[in-house]
Amino acid sequence: MSLELWNKVCKTDPKHTKKAKLGAMQITAIDPQYQRKNATQVFGAFGIGWGLSNVGYTTHEIGDTVLLQFDADMWYIWEGEKGVFPVTSQVKMAYMTSGVSGYLKVDDDAAKKAQTDALTKGLSMLGFNSDVFEGLFDDNKYVQQVKKEFAEKTPQAQEAKQKHDAVLKAKKEEVTALIDMLGENSPGAKAVWDTFDREEKKALWLPEDAGGCLSTEYKNRLTAISKQS
């Protein structure tokens, strides 16, 4: 039970990430709006099911650099209970640029950046996007796996799966015959394929992970058979 929330929110949809540089390090950055949306799906609207309280900003001067520090309490409601813990973040608000023509640069968005960074850190403590923070996005195989998982959850993929299931149910014998003939590399497969209308063909031609019946190998065989006729 202690990992129920963590396991619910730990995976990240790769399409909401991008590669970025943090100093000399290459990191995976997560779209903060995507994080807020996920938190809203789990806890409810911001300010009702989760949010920040006791918000405060302070500044710290280090030489020519001024740091803006954000401090707050992050709270959330999970299974009827309220959790709360402190979050903090610091960003450069003003600093001298390098070089002989250095000048004082002031970041007008420093307050927003500090709050966003604190939210990201706070959500990560609850397990949100844990796979990114654990370094799993450095493994291309893992990224492809979760990309596939999230693709299967899209409304388009689910609709396509439903269409395929309907075809499979209505024309089970014809589909079975088609698969058998393709397995045997039989030219008779085209005659069976031609019994399906356009929408039925489209549904059956789906990728296997979206519910389609034709593997890449079988698709290639059917294409070759069609060209021979």
Looking at residue 227, its pLDDT comes to 75
Please tell me the predicted confidence (pLDDT) of residue 229: 54
- Helix 155-170 × helix 172-183 angle, to 10°: 90
Whole-number Cα distances in Å, 212 to 31, 164, 209: 32, 7, 7
**Average pLDDT value for the chain:** 88
* Tokens encoding 103: 């000048």
Beta strands in 137-188 (DSSP E): none
Verdict on whether the full-model pTM lies above 0.85: no
The structure tokens listed for 31 are 């779209």
Looking at 7-21, 79-93, 104-118, 204-218, which range is the least confident one?
A: 204-218
Q: Which residue has the higher pLDDT, 110 or 165?
A: 110
Looking at domain 4-138, what is its CATH homologous superfamily? DNA repair protein Rad52/59/22 (3.30.390.80)
The position carrying tokens 């004082």 is: 104
Residue the block writes with tokens 């075809």: 167
Q: What is the structure's pLDDT at 178? A: 87
CB 86 within 8 A of CB 130: no
CA 90-96-102 angle, to 5 degrees, is 155
Predicted confidence (pLDDT) per residue in 60-75, tens digit:
999 889 999 999 999 9
Domain ranges in the chain are: 4-138, 155-228
Region 199-213 average pLDDT = 72
